[in-house]
Amino acid sequence: MIDWDEARRDLPLFDLPPADAPAHAARLAWEIACCWQAEPAHARALAQDWDQDWGRNCAETRR
């Protein structure tokens, strides 16, 4: 199945795995923003993952 954002935007960037933690956080944030209204339950689940990943990455950066 193709996500709405994939159907509307054909960028090779979306087909590549994230290279590092900030790229992973950005990808999750983008998916959350794109599906917030159409799939709110999915967006909330992703937001929890994004929050956990971002919090961990910020803590590692401060060390």
- Phi and psi at 13, nearest 5°, equal -55, -35
Asked, for residue 63, whether it belongs to a domain, the answer is yes
Residue 46 domain-assigned (yes or no): yes
Please indicate, yes or no, if residue 5 is contained in any of the structural domains.
Answer: no
Asked whether residue 7 carries a pLDDT value surpassing 70, the answer given is: no
Mean per-residue pLDDT over the chain, rounded: 74
20 in a domain, yes or no?
A: no
pLDDT of res. 41: 94
Residue 23 lies in a domain: no
Per-residue pLDDT at 56: 63
Compute the distance between CA of residue 9 and CA of residue 29 in angstroms, rounded to an integer.
Answer: 16
Who has greater pLDDT, 5 or 18? Answer: 18
- Which residues lie closer than 8 Å to 21 by C-beta, 6 or more apart? 53, 57, 60
At 14, is the pLDDT very low, low, confident or very high (cuts 50, 70, 90)?
Answer: low
How many domains in the chain?
Answer: 1
Name the residue range of residue 59's domain: 33-63
Percent over 90 (pLDDT), the chain: 8
